[in-house]
C-alpha cells in the first residue's frame, strides 16, 4: 500500500533545497579575493557614504597569501555576490608585488562587477594605530581612500554606486586557518544626511573558524582561529 505524502513535508523539503541552493549560488562576498577567513564587525546603515576606523597593525606574520585589516562599506546588508563595495586598510602577504611588506591598499567592486585591488599605497609600521577611512566625496564625485586625515588614493573612473547599506571593520585572510587579529576602535559611519556617527556593531560576518567580540564601546576585535 502506498503511503500518502504529507504536502507540508514536501514543502519543507522544497524550502530546504531552496535555502541550500541559495547558499551555493549566492555566496557571501569575500572582499579581497577568494579568501576563506573573515571576522567582520558590521552594522546596517541606510545610505552610508563613508566609514572610518582606527586599526592596530600589530605585527602580522609573513608568508601567507594575504592578511588584511579594513574598514569599508557594501551596497547590501548581507553583501552577497553581485553587491558593490569599497574598502581600505592594511595588507601583508605574498599577493602584493612587494611580498610581506605591510602597506595600505584599496579593494572595490561595482555592483555586478569584478573586484579591483590597488596595492602599494604607502608602507606602514608594525604595532601602530592608523585611522583608515572610506568616503564618497560629493564635491569631487568620486570614492576616496584616506589614512590619518589625508586622501591617499581614488579610482581612475567612477563606480556605479555612491552609497551603501552597511559598514564593516575587521580582518580577512586568504584561507581558513590563517592567523587573524585586528582591533578596530572609534568605528564611525557617515550617511547622505547624517554626519560622522560612532557605532557599536550589531552583527558579524564570519567565514571560517573565527570570532568577533566587543572589547569596549565603539570597538571590535576580530581574531582566530578560535
Residue 21 lies in a domain: no
Please check the confidence at residue 86 and state whether its pLDDT lies above 50: yes
Domain of 190, CATH number, reads 2.60.120.200
Report pTM.
0.86
Please check the confidence at residue 153 and state whether its pLDDT lies above 90: yes
Residue 176 lies in a domain: yes
Please check the confidence at residue 66 and state whether its pLDDT lies above 60: yes
Residue 102 lies in a domain: yes
pLDDT at 35: 63
Q: How many residues does the chain have?
A: 226
Cell of 178: 590563517
Residue 86 lies in a domain: yes
pLDDT at 70: 98
Residue 128 lies in a domain: yes
Of residues 161, 211, 219, the one with CA closest to residue 37: 211
Q: Kind and range of the H or E element at 44? A: strand 37-56
Residue 147 lies in a domain: yes
**CB-based contact 77:195 (threshold 8 Å):** no
At 198-224, the pLDDT tens digits run 999 999 999 999 999 999 999 999 999
pLDDT at 111: 97
Torsion 62-116-151-206 (CA) sign: negative
Q: What average pLDDT score do residues 176-204 get?
A: 97
**CB-based contact 130:90 (threshold 8 Å):** yes
Residue 9 lies in a domain: no
Of residues 117, 40, 25, the one with CA closest to residue 74: 40
| Proportion of the chain above pLDDT 70, given as a percent | 85
- How far apart are alpha carbons 112 and 207 in whole angstroms? 22
Distance of CA 213 to the CA centre of its chain: 16
At 43-61, the pLDDT tens digits run 999 999 999 999 999 999 9
Q: What average pLDDT score do residues 154-183 get?
A: 97
What is the CB neighbour count within 10 angstroms for residue 119? 17
Pairing of strands 220-224, 180-191: antiparallel
- Range with lowest mean pLDDT among 16-30, 116-130, 176-190: 16-30
Of residues 119, 28, 134, the one with CA closest to residue 73: 134
Partners of residue 52 on adjacent β-strands: 133, 188
The phi and psi torsions of 14 (rounded to 5 degrees) equal -60, -45
**CB-based contact 102:67 (threshold 8 Å):** no
Place of cell 601583508: 92
Domain that holds residue 172: 29-224
Higher pLDDT, 214 or 80: 214
Q: What's the DSSP call for residue 3?
A: P
Residue 42 lies in a domain: yes
Domain count, the chain: 1
- Range with lowest mean pLDDT among 1-5, 84-88, 92-96, 131-135: 1-5
Cell of 95: 599577493
DSSP E strands in the chain: the ranges are: 37-56, 67-74, 85-92, 103-109, 115-118, 129-137, 142-147, 150-153, 164-173, 180-191, 197-198, 203-207, 211-213, 220-224
pLDDT at 14: 38
Amino acid at each position: 500500500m502506498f503511503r500518502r505524502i504529507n504536502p507540508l513535508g514536501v514543502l519543507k523539503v522544497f524550502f530546504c533545497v531552496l535555502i541550500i541552493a541559495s547558499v551555493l549560488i549566492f555566496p557571501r562576498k569575500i572582499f579581497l579575493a577568494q579568501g576563506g577567513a573573515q571576522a567582520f564587525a558590521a552594522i546596517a546603515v541606510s545610505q552610508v557614504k563613508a566609514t572610518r576606523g582606527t586599526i592596530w597593525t600589530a605585527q602580522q606574520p609573513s608568508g601567507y597569501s594575504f592578511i588584511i585589516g579594513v574598514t569599508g562599506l557594501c551596497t547590501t546588508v548581507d553583501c552577497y555576490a553581485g553587491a558593490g563595495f569599497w574598502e581600505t586598510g592594511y595588507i601583508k602577504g605574498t599577493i602584493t608585488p612587494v611580498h610581506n611588506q605591510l602597506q595600505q591598499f584599496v579593494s572595490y567592486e561595482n555592483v555586478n562587477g569584478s573586484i579591483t585591488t590597488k596595492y602599494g599605497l604607502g608602507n606602514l609600521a608594525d604595532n601602530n594605530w592608523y585611522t583608515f577611512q572610506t568616503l564618497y566625496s560629493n564635491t569631487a564625485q568620486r570614492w576616496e581612500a584616506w589614512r590619518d586625515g589625508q586622501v591617499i588614493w581614488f579610482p581612475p573612473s567612477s563606480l556605479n554606486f555612491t552609497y551603501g547599506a552597511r559598514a564593516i571593520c575587521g580582518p580577512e585572510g586568504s584561507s581558513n586557518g590563517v592567523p587573524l587579529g585586528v582591533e578596530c576602535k572609534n568605528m564611525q559611519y557617515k550617511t547622505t544626511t547624517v554626519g560622522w556617527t560612532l557605532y557599536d556593531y550589531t552583527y558579524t560576518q564570519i567565514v571560517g573558524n573565527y570570532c568577533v567580540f566587543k572589547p569596549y564601546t565603539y570597538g571590535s576585535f576580530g581574531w582566530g582561529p578560535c
